[in-house]
Structure 1
């Protein structure tokens, strides 16, 4: 995947190499879930319906490298657009770093354990259904909660 610099995640996003950009992802899978936009208000509702390529048990893309061939509207998140994607979760490393904030305490780059995203309750693994089985999206609207510790930190508790 390429060489990763020590503590690269503390650098401004514009300075990251492609390998470092890809490594910044925490693997939660939330960006691979369908959203519903209200045509009148523009409000975006989350669903628990995953892209057909997302492994619902691991929250990992089954064919990340070739995903655009199977899902043409799959968004390739880049530095140029990261601040213009309003539906990224508040816990998203890209969103946090674009705002100059630190990674969450459970991020694997800090802990060394990719399963910490699951233990923190951030991952969608085991909590979503594939679009191939879901039926109407309107029946699957959910509100994802932030991990309790993150909520306490945001409120200053």
Structure 2
């Protein structure tokens, strides 16, 4: 086997091992095995269709990012599968980990809403200033001579 082929095979194994290690931190062994099997089969299918292993791995991207996405999806599915749970429920006078995570999400959403309100405010002020500037530019050719005439009249009234 050539050095290049060994390096590519190593990349595939390294990819799958990084994915396995990261998924094992939060998923059951059965779920990790299923995900690893899926990506292993996907890589093999793509290679059977004429693509190089290097192309497939480049397309897939960072295994740690894939793992994060899979874990986020799993967490979201778990939240929707337990809608009857009350996030404000207290256990022993302390908030549960789920409650803390949910409150953190609500805090982030609130910050996002505040940011959106600030952006809307800035855009509204900019539009008002733009409109006022447009009106002022059109009125200046009339206002400047009018102000000069008023100054001359005021000067002669004083004398």
Same fold by TM-score greater than 0.5: no
**What is the TM-score when the length of structure 1 is the normalising length?**
0.23
Q: Which has the higher contact order (CA 8 A, sep 6+)?
A: 1
Instruction: Name the one with the larger helix percent.
Output: 2
Select the structure of larger CA radius of gyration: 2
TM-score normalised according to structure 2 size: 0.23
